[in-house]
Amino acid sequence: MKARAPATASSKIDTPVNMPTAPGPVIFVIFGGGGDLAWRKLVPSLYYLHVNRSLLQQFAIIGVDRAPFSDVTLRKRLMDGVRQFSGLGAVKPKEWKAFAGRISYQRADFGSIATYRMLARRLKALDRAWNAKPTWVFHLATPPTLVGVIPKFLAAVGLARERQRARIVVEKPIGSDLESARRLNTTLTESFHEPQIFRIDHYLGKETVQNIMAFRFANGIFEPIWNRRYIDHVQISVAETVGVEGRGSYFDHAGSLRDMVPNHIMQLISLTAMEPPISFDANAVRDEQAKILHAIQPISDEDVLSRSVRGQYGEGIEGGQRVPAYRTESDVAPDSRTETFVAMKLLIDNWRWAGVPFYLRTGKRMPARNTHIVIQFRQAPFVLFRDTSVEHLMPNQLVLHIQPEEGISLQFAAKVPGPVMRLGSVDMNFEYQQYFGKQPSTGYERLLHDCMIGDQTLFQRADMVEVGWNVVNPMLDLWKALPPRNFPNYASGTWGPKEADELLERDGRSWRNFEK
């Protein structure tokens, strides 16, 4: 059954849905401004903020890239991205004209200091034109190889020195293992101070992810049972229907473990399991998240073999169409050992979660695109029902749906009408769109806004990045030493290899799958 908002004053929204007040003057510099991320995510998100009046008039975007664009050609390319990905429908000519006038382009050689000196001159010229000291946001929408290069040049020309106005945004992946993550964090902090560094993960821009803390800590009926006494286990699933989508050259070196677990999934674990912070101050929240990540039980080589599963998709049926095996995808080695599916069992060694397993999985070419967190509660005693026709009791499940539909559902048992005691499983569903209306979102709008106002709550700190890699490093090492013998081991359009089901079945549990 669906919970519906009553048509009374009690259903009004207590706080505005739109962004908070606009940041001050901002110059948003996108390194890789002619690339896919700027076209698909960043500029559509900034346009959304513009349309919702979350930016001041003193706002500019400078795209920096190698391509031979002019201001006009860059604006034309970006308008196409806004039309497709902003979620706002048709682009209104008046709004676009006002927004496009803020966009300019600088052709660059990322390895030449002349590029950064030219950028510094442009930024200082805007200081004079605006008679202000705007915030500088340097967003690295570039290949990972440049993340260790650009900050050093920005520091060399003095653009990192002004701590109150200069901020740098770094996309995942932050490194490819623990050692490289440490090196990259060292490189970043040699040029910028930690409060200036915003390690972005677009998953944290999704409303349901942000709502985890509100749901847990603002509702007195849930927090008292959010512990090992009442919760049997937790499942976190990130399922994708797509393959590598033209990213074979990147993905074949990364794989699903590196691509998803140290960042996206570790963030979901920490928000689900953290203790209440003393406030919503960025470091107070991130301190509690970091404590959870540090409390994850270390994984031995034996644990890797018994508590983790890797898979690679073969050909199969997806959406009624036959799709190819991973090894036949473009830019993928024909004998690739790269995993496209990962499942694992983790334990958190603290008072709240001792003995409660966290089961994680992520994979490509699965039957449905769905990200969700399942909280399964312990079963009620059966003693009352032993002389009835009820054979077993279904455990209650609370599900946080993160994508594609955002919402929360609660599964519980109810008596089936009739003279005999029979139980049926029913759901109470809360859907964001139904209550609050559909909010256009790429996942970046809130994050970019927070970056501009200097709020780091939804961004990873250096220690969080490193401990995330520390959790998965034993798997990376052992999987490198012991190549898989049975790849591909699941067909496209299925829920992964049978070993992933067996991972839970050994504990008397099963995955919760959601399909259309």
Whether the CA torsion 274, 275, 280, 284 is positive or negative: it is negative
Of the two residues 415 and 461, the one the predictor is more confident about is: 461
pLDDT digits (tens, 9 = 90+) for 63-75: 999 999 999 999 9
DSSP 310: E
Structure tokens at 321: 């169409």
Is the whole model's pTM more than 0.85, yes or no? yes
For residues 356 and 348, give the distance between their C-alpha atoms in angstroms, rounded to a whole number. Answer: 7
The structural domains of the chain, with segments of one domain joined by +, span: 26-171, 205-505
Write down the pLDDT at residue 117.
Answer: 97
With cut-offs at 50, 70 and 90, classify the pLDDT of residue 2: very low
Q: Is 233 a catalytic residue?
A: no
**Helix, strand, or coil (residue 326):** helix
* Length of the chain measured in residues: 516
For residues 268 and 287, give the distance between their C-alpha atoms in angstroms, rounded to a whole number. Answer: 15
Write down the pLDDT at residue 388.
Answer: 61
**Helix, strand, or coil (residue 429):** strand
With cut-offs at 50, 70 and 90, classify the pLDDT of residue 359: very high
pLDDT digits (tens, 9 = 90+) for 277-303: 998 888 999 999 999 999 999 999 999
Lookup result for tokens 């929360």: 408
Give percent of the chain above pLDDT 90: 68
Nearest to 207 by CA among 13, 458, 464, 454: 458
Residues 116-126 have a mean pLDDT of 97
Lookup result for tokens 């990322």: 110
Residues 359-363 have a mean pLDDT of 97
Structure tokens at 165: 């106005």
Average pLDDT for the chain: 89
Asked if residue 17 has pLDDT above 60, the reply is no
Asked if residue 56 has pLDDT above 70, the reply is yes
Q: What is the DSSP string of 335-385?
A: T----SEEEEEEEB-STTTTT-EEEEEEESS-SS-EEEEEEEEPPPPSGGG
- 205-505 architecture in CATH? 2-Layer Sandwich (3.30)
Contact 87, 48 (CB under 8 A): yes
**How many C-beta neighbours within 10 Å does residue 343 have?**
26
Lookup result for tokens 């260790």: 148
Given 202, 233, 264, 449, the catalytic residue: 264
Write down the pLDDT at residue 439.
Answer: 66
Write down the pLDDT at residue 427.
Answer: 82
Residues 155-160 have a mean pLDDT of 96
pLDDT digits (tens, 9 = 90+) for 104-113: 999 999 999 9
Write down the pLDDT at residue 405.
Answer: 81
Burial state string for 210-229 with b = 16 or more CB within 10 A and e = fewer than 16: ebbbebbbeeeeeeeebeee
Residues 138-158 have a mean pLDDT of 94
Asked if residue 364 has pLDDT above 70, the reply is yes
Distances (CA, A) of 278 to 25, 113, 285, 457: 31, 44, 8, 13
Of the two residues 148 and 309, the one the predictor is more confident about is: 309
Give percent of the chain above pLDDT 70: 91
Write down the pLDDT at residue 420.
Answer: 67
Write down the pLDDT at residue 163.
Answer: 87
Residues 6 or more apart whose Cβ sits within 8 Å of residue 267: 201, 203, 204, 209, 289, 460
Residues 6 or more apart whose Cβ sits within 8 Å of residue 314: 325, 326, 488, 489, 490, 491, 492
pLDDT digits (tens, 9 = 90+) for 447-458: 999 999 999 998
Residues 6 or more apart whose Cβ sits within 8 Å of residue 138: 29, 31, 150, 154, 159, 166, 167, 168, 169
CATH class assigned to 26-171 = alpha beta
Residues 6 or more apart whose Cβ sits within 8 Å of residue 343: 308, 309, 311, 359, 360, 361, 363, 496, 499, 500, 503
Bridge partners of 401, per DSSP, are 372, 407
pLDDT digits (tens, 9 = 90+) for 229-280: 999 999 999 999 999 887 888 899 999 999 999 999 999 999 999 999 998 8
Residues 324-343 have a mean pLDDT of 95
For residues 458 and 451, give the distance between their C-alpha atoms in angstroms, rounded to a whole number. Answer: 9
